[in-house]
Amino acid sequence: MNKPLSEISQLLSSRRREKNLSLQDVEAATAIKRLFLEAIEEGNLESLGPKQVYAIGFMRAYAEFLGIDASQVAYAIPEQKFEFSYGIGTVQSRKGFGGKPKWLPNLIWGGVALTMLILAWYFARVVGLL
């Protein structure tokens, strides 16, 4: 059964109060920072910025700590998409000179070296060195 984030947040907050636990107590027991706990209880995951990726996992751990079925929490935000911008562009492969592949100059030099070796061998046979 899917519940909206606001219901899950209220459920977690009320269960914590029923158990007479402070946010500091929960933070010490679960190792979830108070900043995350406050955002979860307020239903304001957007305030976490890029760190909201961790929020669903923290919500599950928080629910389990309070004795709530974690599967209810897992789908509180079923279509949440997290977008990141690190200020870098996409990675593109580089090309060699003139837009040609990097390996092409090596192939040409290898062909030249092979031709020189064949000519040297032929010359050595003609002269009688071999």
pLDDT in tens, 9-68: 888 899 999 989 898 999 999 888 888 888 888 888 777 766 666 777 888 888 888 888
The token duo for 58 is 């923290």
Q: Are 95 and 101 in contact (CB under 8 A)?
A: yes
* For the chain, percent of residues with pLDDT exceeding 70: 73
Q: Are 39 and 47 in contact (CB under 8 A)?
A: yes
Nearest of 28, 72, 23, 80 to residue 54 by alpha carbon: 80
